[in-house]
Structure 1
Amino acid sequence: MTEPLALYIHWPFCAAKCPYCDFNSHVREAGVDHARFRAALRRELAFEAGRAGRRPLASIFFGGGTPSLMEPETVAALIADAGTLFDMAPDIEITLEANPTSVEIGKLREFRAAGVNRASLGVQSLDAEALRFLGRRHDAGEAITALEAAREIFPRLSFDLIYARPGQAEAAWRAELRQALALAADHLSLYQLTIEPGTRFATQYARGDFALPAEDDAARMYEATAEEARRFGLVPYEVSNYAKPGAESRHNLAYWRYGDYLGIGPGAHQRMLRRAAPAIHASGDGGVMLATRRHRAPEEWAARVEQSGHAIVEEEELSPRDRGREALLMGLRLAEGVDPARIEARSGLRFVDTVDPAMLSACLEEGYLEWQGPRLVATSEGRVRLDALLPALLR
């Protein structure tokens, strides 16, 4: 059990709810009791550390919600606790997501002093009209100022953009992307706009208030994304993520490589292979992969942590088949693909028992998948079609 852990810490609060967002995020007009949530996060972290044992820790990721709305002392306390409870890697990656508003950017130096060494900015667009459509609270000028400031403060910097927006053309996307890439980030997350159930966009889209680009147009924008990124030295190491060599998100690689990760905070999920600790809400007695989910509502989550030390509402033992399926689903998103030996080690199931052999043969024959040495890799054609291929490929 010496494989390093990844730690995710969820801050659920936002200044406003974006119309496309289906994350567990909440707006509190009356304010947030920072002291209460700081204490609850620290307590739940201690609880999970007690179950995990003293393990190497490779990454910490403050996600949300909007973690840049946290008080820097909360971030500092959680990083310090993690250093006490686990064996931090000398080059540990500590990421904090931030929005490029002037209020939040003013706190970046404090987050750096707290121990954060990688910032991820939710820019989403450098187009004024698009920012209004996406419900963002910053303008393009603020985004550029924030990126320039973050670049000076943090050793590593990433930011997000959303493409395939209503009325967007490939040429306009290329121009916007070039402007973004010129800001010298070492990592970009570039997401196609999708309509998620339960969001404000879902209601508006169903009413016909706007239309998305045709599937073929969106695919061309996806291909253009990789072309433009490569010109600036960034390569697509995952379906939606581009980085200069060595600048890949180590934290997210832990998910895609199906490693162990802890998740604390409202609604946080985690996957842990446990050797001895029993499940909270499962019948097993250890030696299993446990999938854990916490209560989503922030105040109820805090109350449960205060009462029990944790807010776990569901914890189940994943079967070998489920583990094999999850490892394949995540791994094929990576440009490096998946190693069958890794899937077998994490699932206890033979690789040939995780895939439909006829569909695997068909995908290989059509050029959607290929073997590169011992690894199964999705080709560029296959990565565009992964969402459709994977359900048919899995047994």
Structure 2
Amino acid sequence: MTEVGDPGALAVYVHWPFCVSKCPYCDFNSHVRDRVDEAQWRQAYEAAIDAAAARTPGRVVTSVFFGGGTPSLMDPATVAAVLDRIAARWPLASAPEVTLEANPGSVEAGRFAGYRAAGVDRVSLGVQALDDAALAFLGRRHDAGEALSALAIARRIFPRWSFDLIYGRPGHTPEAWASELRRALPLAGDHLSVYQLTIEPGTRFAVLHDRGDLVLPDEEMQGLLYETTQSVLGAAGLAAYEISNHARPGGESRHNLAYWRYGDYVGIGPGAHGRLTRDRSRVATRQKKAPEAWLAAVAATGDGLDEEQSLAPAERLAELLMMGLRLAEGVPLARVERETGAPLDAWIVPARIERLARGGFLERDTTRLAATVAGRQRLDAVLAALLPEPRS
């Protein structure tokens, strides 16, 4: 059976770029449109899948992920058409994971039943908070009651479900966050995602933050909130397998593991990225970003590809470590050599690793390099101290 990380495995990401409104913290490639010609988009997705399959012959699809944007605004018939086209163009693993992101405000039981009938077996809900004041601050269009209703529908229809929460809001305390997590636990299935609120350039929150109207908890408080997350969820059996993602054993997102384990994936839709292995080289791909530009390109050429670039060994090492050190399992040393053509010590002076290990941020044995809990909490700083200068 083909699994995540196998050389022949392939994950497929499908980007739906539209939302009802833009959240003030969001820097994703999402757009608000008065009208979307869904039949036109359905045809474009099918053509783009054909083009991607032609670049990846013989690969076996292990997962499909509908992200956005708000994919739960898609007609279930569009989801079904996309999944049918994927199945027609690639072999499928025996039980591929098919995930669709949804916002609670766009959830309807009939629509969810339609997604399930189309082949979606896992839903990821953007709940973000469990009280109305926090949801209003985050610019969400749903309230806590709608979130609870959406979770109840998801639990009834899908064999697997997950939802997101955001912490580190202004004035957030460990006590309040622990209470919110404990309210979330009875609602959780085998997976829960918890993200620290960050200020992203170009967002409404960035404007407020720059002029001093939005103040986030300081670094010490953010650390306490992170530690509270690990403690409460770990004690409940939802261990952190990645910086922001917690799961019961076997409940991990197979699709996201393809990213973090530096597996191969294709991106379909506006702005979608991909990583592909070809003849021992690693290729980065990107689709045209603007929805209308992507749609026009597919209509004209049958393909929305905007850029395809071969990655140098040093770039591959950087990506492998940036993704793999997010995981509790870390990065296999054999994978470093297979990906770059040289062992880790040929790229990174061992003293750098030893210094970070003495500080309690890294662990290394004969088979792997991993960030500790403290290291994952400060991963940007760890990577800056660890990675060598770029080389060809």
From 59, 62, 66, the equivalent of 2:63 is 59
In structure 2, what is the equivalent of residue 351 of structure 1? 344
In structure 2, what is the equivalent of residue 19 of structure 1? 24
Matched, 1:369 2:327: no
Name the CA distance, whole Å, in 2 between partners of 1:184 and 1:332.
26
How far residue 131 of structure 1 moved from its aligned partner, in angstroms, is 0.3
Give the RMSD, CA atoms, in angstroms: 1.3
Name the CA distance, whole Å, in 1 between partners of 2:29 and 2:58.
29
In structure 1, what is the equivalent of residue 323 of structure 2? 330
In structure 2, what is the equivalent of residue 282 of structure 1? none
How far residue 104 of structure 1 moved from its aligned partner, in angstroms, is 4.7
Name the CA distance, whole Å, in 1 between partners of 2:196 and 2:360.
24
Alignment of 1:179-198 (within 5 A): 179-198=183-202
How far residue 321 of structure 1 moved from its aligned partner, in angstroms, is 1.1
In structure 2, what is the equivalent of residue 127 of structure 1? 131
In structure 2, what is the equivalent of residue 284 of structure 1? none
Counterpart code for 1:248:
E
- 1:147/1:372 Cα in 2 relative to 1: closer, same or farther (>3 Å)? farther
Matched, 1:4 2:6: no
In structure 2, what is the equivalent of residue 252 of structure 1? 256
Is the 8 Å Cα contact of residues 273 and 284 (structure 2) preserved in structure 1?
yes
In structure 2, what is the equivalent of residue 283 of structure 1? none
How far residue 288 of structure 1 moved from its aligned partner, in angstroms, is 2.1
Counterpart code for 2:323:
M
Alignment of 1:375-386 (within 5 A): 375-386=368-379
Deviations along 1:198-243, one digit per CA (max 9) or x if unpaired, are: 0000001111112101111111111111111123211100010000
Moved more, 346-355 or 45-54: 346-355
TM-score, structure 2 length as denominator? 0.95
From 96, 101, 115, the equivalent of 1:97 is 101
Matched, 1:222 2:222: no
Counterpart code for 1:223:
E
- 1:71/1:102 Cα in 2 relative to 1: closer, same or farther (>3 Å)? closer
From 289, 309, 326, the equivalent of 2:302 is 309
- 1:372/1:187 Cα in 2 relative to 1: closer, same or farther (>3 Å)? farther
How far residue 106 of structure 1 moved from its aligned partner, in angstroms, is 4.4
From 38, 44, 50, the equivalent of 1:40 is 44
From 106, 111, 115, the equivalent of 1:107 is 111
Structure 2: give runs of 5+ residues left out of the alignment: 1-5
Counterpart code for 1:12:
P
Counterpart code for 1:318:
L
Counterpart code for 1:266:
P
Matched, 1:141 2:145: yes
Counterpart code for 2:317:
G
How far residue 348 of structure 1 moved from its aligned partner, in angstroms, is 2.6
Counterpart code for 1:20:
Y
Is the 8 Å Cα contact of residues 162 and 188 (structure 2) preserved in structure 1?
no
In structure 1, what is the equivalent of residue 167 of structure 2? 163
Is the 8 Å Cα contact of residues 233 and 244 (structure 1) preserved in structure 2?
yes
Name the CA distance, whole Å, in 1 between partners of 2:109 and 2:374.
39
Matched, 1:393 2:386: yes
From 321, 344, 351, the equivalent of 2:314 is 321
Deviations along 1:34-68, one digit per CA (max 9) or x if unpaired, are: 01111111101110101100211100000000000
Deviations along 1:142-188, one digit per CA (max 9) or x if unpaired, are: 10111111011111111100000011111111111111111132111
Deviations along 1:257-304, one digit per CA (max 9) or x if unpaired, are: 0010000100000000113xxxxxxxxxxx521101111110110100
SS of aligned partner of 1:182: helix
- 1:23/1:356 Cα in 2 relative to 1: closer, same or farther (>3 Å)? farther
Name the CA distance, whole Å, in 2 between partners of 1:159 and 1:260.
25
- 1:212/1:105 Cα in 2 relative to 1: closer, same or farther (>3 Å)? farther
Name the CA distance, whole Å, in 2 between partners of 1:104 and 1:391.
45
- 1:379/1:103 Cα in 2 relative to 1: closer, same or farther (>3 Å)? closer
Is the 8 Å Cα contact of residues 271 and 290 (structure 1) preserved in structure 2?
yes
SS of aligned partner of 2:213: coil
- 1:76/1:236 Cα in 2 relative to 1: closer, same or farther (>3 Å)? same
Name the CA distance, whole Å, in 2 between partners of 1:356 and 1:142.
53
- 1:106/1:169 Cα in 2 relative to 1: closer, same or farther (>3 Å)? farther
Counterpart code for 2:205:
F
Moved more, 352-361 or 244-253: 352-361
From 70, 74, 81, the equivalent of 2:74 is 70
Deviations along 1:291-346, one digit per CA (max 9) or x if unpaired, are: 01111110110100111111222211100111111111111110001101112212
Report the count of equivalent residues: 383
Moved more, 322-331 or 356-365: 356-365
- 1:232/1:55 Cα in 2 relative to 1: closer, same or farther (>3 Å)? same
SS of aligned partner of 1:41: helix
SS of aligned partner of 1:26: coil
Name the CA distance, whole Å, in 2 between partners of 1:372 and 1:246.
25
Counterpart code for 1:348:
G
Counterpart code for 1:230:
G
How far residue 103 of structure 1 moved from its aligned partner, in angstroms, is 4.7
SS of aligned partner of 1:209: coil
In structure 2, what is the equivalent of residue 239 of structure 1? 243
From 147, 164, 176, the equivalent of 2:180 is 176
In structure 1, what is the equivalent of residue 3 of structure 2? none
Runs of 4 or more, structure 1, over 6 Å off, are: none
Moved more, 96-105 or 249-258: 96-105
